[in-house]
Amino acid sequence: MGDRLYQGEKMRFTQRSRQWLGVVGLAMVTTGCAVSPDPLTRAELADQARSDMAALRSGQPAIDTPLSQEEAVARAILYNRDRHVASMKAALARNQLTTANFQMLPSLTAAAGYTTRSEFAATQSVPFIDGSPRRELGNDIFSVGQEKNRTTYGVDFTWSILDFGLSYVRAKQQANQYLVTVEEERKAIQNLAQETRTAYWKAVSATALLDRVGPLMDKVNGALVNSREITRQRISDPLTNYSYERSLLDVKRALQTLRDELIGSREKLAQLMGLPPDTGYQLASYEADELEAPNAVFDIDTMENTALLQRPEILSASYRKRIARDDVRAALLQMFPDLSLSAGYQQDSNDFLRYNDWASAGASISYDLLNIFQTKAKYDAAKTSVEVAEQQRLATALAVLTQVHLAALEYRSAREQLATSTNYLRVSRSISDLVYNQSQAGSTGQLTAIKEQLNALVAELRRDLAYASLQNAFARIYQSIGLDPYPKDAGHTPDELAAAISRRRAAWQAGYIGVVIKPIANQGPVLTTRDGMTQPSFTFAEDTFTVGGDVTYQATSEDGALPSWLRFDAGTRTFSAAAGAPIRNTPITVTAINGEGVSASDSFVLQTNFGSS
């Protein structure tokens, strides 16, 4: 018996020693694997800088011809770095949605393992008397139920009904989050197009006027030198000289302000187009006096209706409200117990087992009792978040409607400012010419001639900036109602995209700013016999388009006029077929237009299932 106790103590000591050795070894390994900060070296930064410069100077076709406004916007949309970030965020959200969909799947786990030990896992049984084991009553017989070396294989299937429900709700939220990123990308594109237009016309003004600022500045500096020489020699009254010099300095300060307002505009435009600031390019030349002011066709009712359907901010707010509603559904699901199903197949190489492979299945139900106290609070919080999202959506809608009205006011104001600036320039040029002729004849001083030249130059700049402001106000009208600057199938090259932007701009100027609320193709466009009517007919809904005011409708086919057997009543929006009409699917385009010239169109196929073949 004493030998057995000794052997037992020896084994326990050996086991404790191995445990301590394992802890020490683990501590040493952990210390050796510690991570310390590793700053980038200058050489690595230099390599990265060279790589960045090469990347910035490549990736888009060279600019071989003078850039038009549409081409500048197209290049910005295709190659702007911030726009790429917005696109990549949308792609990331799409990938996260795919991942969220996989979260709904049950768990199917395959496992394989190998274990070995130096000794058998031999065990001994002793009597258990009065609440304690009695080792002295045991014997020297040990039992073994496991081999020293064994391999295991298995496949386990588990499915939690509650986890599936929550994963489904989270996947719906991720789908709506993806739609939010899509709208944010649309907004980024619209803002980028607007910013590029502003930079383009400012660069055009700089190209035309900066070359004229330099010679005028030279004249001012020359006059300042002469004035100071006169003051130094005291040839004339000092007060008169200082007043003259102050006037020259005022002119010089105005020229510097003018130059500062224009300088850097080409570099800013290059940045928006995704080009390094030192990239050389030419802008299309414009005869400023012959530029036509863009004419916007719009009415407030249609703009409001279209904005509430199209603005990315409103759509994003609506999707965020959906996400908040799904939080309520998730809180409700967490009130229920969880039902888990499991099944599996296992194999064990242990020879002491009677059966080395077996299948198993089971089900369990569980409920976190603490949910009784927190679920109500979670549900109330989720409902409050829905109310917050709704108020944010309404606040966004009000802001959008305000922006629509402001855009219309700014456009009208910009047209008036352009007209005033044009008249002011005409008068300033006339005065400058008269004063110049008088200075040449010696009847007017040099200061007066310089000041009038400056006034004419500033007036020309203000006219150019007024024209640029009108261009921006024109585009802002359509940005305020959420219209994209180009269609989705516009192409992927600068030329293709520029052509699409030009066509979209022409459509805006023609008044096509309404959108389709209910596509006619989804309204069942089939000529059928209806109650109280003798002829087969089809009527589309009154709220098909966002066009406001007194609306009239026009219907055309691919060849222009409708077929002779088909009639269209614009007052009732009804198509009807004459007797003996052929069985034919007819492509139709319906256009809604109001008294302001604002319109919208929808194309569909009118189906028939009657008459003669």
Which two structure tokens, joined as six digits, stand for 281? Answer: 């390019």
- Going along the chain from its start, the domains and CATH numbers come out as 520-608 (2.60.40.10)
pLDDT value at residue 540: 94
Check whether 22 has a pLDDT greater than 70: no
Q: Phi and psi (nearest 5°) for 57?
A: -95, 5
What does the pLDDT average to over 439-460?
Answer: 77
- Amino acid identity for residue 600 in this structure: A
pLDDT value at residue 245: 77
Instruction: Decide if 513 contacts 546 (C-beta within 8 A).
Output: no
pLDDT value at residue 560: 84
Distance of alpha carbon 189 from alpha carbon 483, whole angstroms: 11
**Residues 121-165: tens digit of each pLDDT:** 888 888 888 888 887 777 778 888 888 899 999 999 999 999 999
Check whether 571 has a pLDDT greater than 70: yes
Highest-confidence range of 88-102, 171-185, 431-445, 582-596, by mean pLDDT? 171-185
The residue among 257 and 410 whose pLDDT is bigger is 410
Beta-bridge partners for 567 = 576
Residue 7 banded pLDDT, cuts 50, 70, 90: low
Non-local CB neighbours of 389 within 8 Å, separated by 6+ positions: 317, 320, 321, 323, 324
Check whether 27 has a pLDDT greater than 80: no
Distance of alpha carbon 72 from alpha carbon 84, whole angstroms: 16
Residue whose structure tokens are 């300033």: 428
Residue 30 banded pLDDT, cuts 50, 70, 90: low
pLDDT value at residue 612: 42
Residue 450 banded pLDDT, cuts 50, 70, 90: confident
pLDDT value at residue 499: 92
Nearest one of 510, 420, 504, 514 to 470, comparing CA atoms: 420
Helices (H), 311-370: 312-333
The residue among 346 and 584 whose pLDDT is bigger is 346
Q: From edge to edge, which strands make up the β-sheet containing 526-527?
A: 526-527, 599-608, 586-594, 551-557
Q: Phi and psi (nearest 5°) for 312?
A: -60, -35
Distance of alpha carbon 36 from alpha carbon 25, whole angstroms: 21
Distance of alpha carbon 392 from alpha carbon 235, whole angstroms: 73
Looking at the chain, the whole-number percentage of residues with pLDDT higher than 90 is 40
What does the pLDDT average to over 220-243?
Answer: 74
What does the pLDDT average to over 51-79?
Answer: 87
Q: What is the DSSP letter of 294?
A: P
For residue 130, count other CB atoms closer than 10 A to its CB.
5
pLDDT value at residue 397: 94
Nearest one of 205, 247, 314, 241 to 451, comparing CA atoms: 247
What does the pLDDT average to over 461-480?
Answer: 88
Beta-bridge partners for 74 = none
Is 353 strand, coil or helix?
coil
What mean pLDDT is reported for the chain? Answer: 85
pLDDT value at residue 260: 81
For the chain, state the CA radius of gyration.
Answer: 40
**Residues 182-213: tens digit of each pLDDT:** 999 999 999 999 999 988 988 888 887 777 77
Check whether 439 has a pLDDT greater than 50: yes
Check whether 611 has a pLDDT greater than 80: no
In degrees, to the nearest 5, what angle opens at C-alpha 557 toward C-alphas 556 and 560?
Answer: 70
- HEC profile of 263-316: CCHHHHHHHHCCCCCCCCCCECCCCHHHCCCCCCCCCHHHHHHHHHHHCHHHHH
**Residues 294-331: tens digit of each pLDDT:** 888 888 999 999 999 999 999 999 999 999 999 999 98
pLDDT value at residue 184: 93
Residue 222 banded pLDDT, cuts 50, 70, 90: confident
pLDDT value at residue 5: 44
- Among 103-117, 256-270, 435-449, 577-591, the minimum mean pLDDT is found in 435-449
- Among 105-119, 201-215, 382-396, 407-421, the minimum mean pLDDT is found in 201-215
Residue 1 banded pLDDT, cuts 50, 70, 90: very low
Residue 599 banded pLDDT, cuts 50, 70, 90: very high
